[in-house]
Amino acid sequence: MKRWLALAALLVALDQLSKFAMMRLLAHGGIEVAPFFNLVLVYNRGAAFSFLSDAPGWQRELFIAIALAASAWVIWLLRRHPREMLFCFALSLILGGAVGNVIDRVWLGAVIDFLDFHAAGYHWPAFNVADSAITCGAALLIWEGLRPNPRPQNKPQRREDAKENE
């Protein structure tokens, strides 16, 4: 459990350091890094893809509450499944990302986004390190859920499992 919480804490630190650095670097405008990638400074008051960003302000508390509830649930899952490495790794990514964005919402009222990818005039919504961690964690959970998970041959079946197989 400690290593998974340490990984989440490391992600929170990287997320917050990157946001602090970008706030200083981009205080006077964005930077074109490549023909398809810019660094920009965006304060997102909404959720993913700026969902509810135009709401009058009530969404801040809602998103904080959702993230805190999700974080508590993730910690509960980490405690319940300590030996499932990929599952716990994915949950740690999600936990670190959620906490990183909650910190922004609590202190600034919005999440700082700064990575802007674009092509042919279309810009993907700006995002940050926390968003990337959440997305990677969710993708890993999906992948882990879809891959076959055969029972090891040398592990005895539980009595309940043996009854179901009869």
Write down the catalytic residue from 15, 104, 113, 116: 113
Classify burial at 100, counting beta carbons within 10 Å of its beta carbon; exposed 0-12, middle 13-18, buried 19 or more: buried
Q: Is 113 a catalytic residue?
A: yes
User: What distances in angstroms separate CA 44 from CA 72, 122, 138, 139, one per listed residue?
Assistant: 24, 18, 21, 23
Cα dist from 164 to 137, 157, 159, whole Å: 32, 11, 9
Residue of 15, 104, 116, 131 with catalytic role: 131
Residue 17 CB coordination number (10 Å): 11
Q: For residue 131, indicate whether it is catalytic.
A: yes
- Catalytic residues, by residue number, are 113, 131
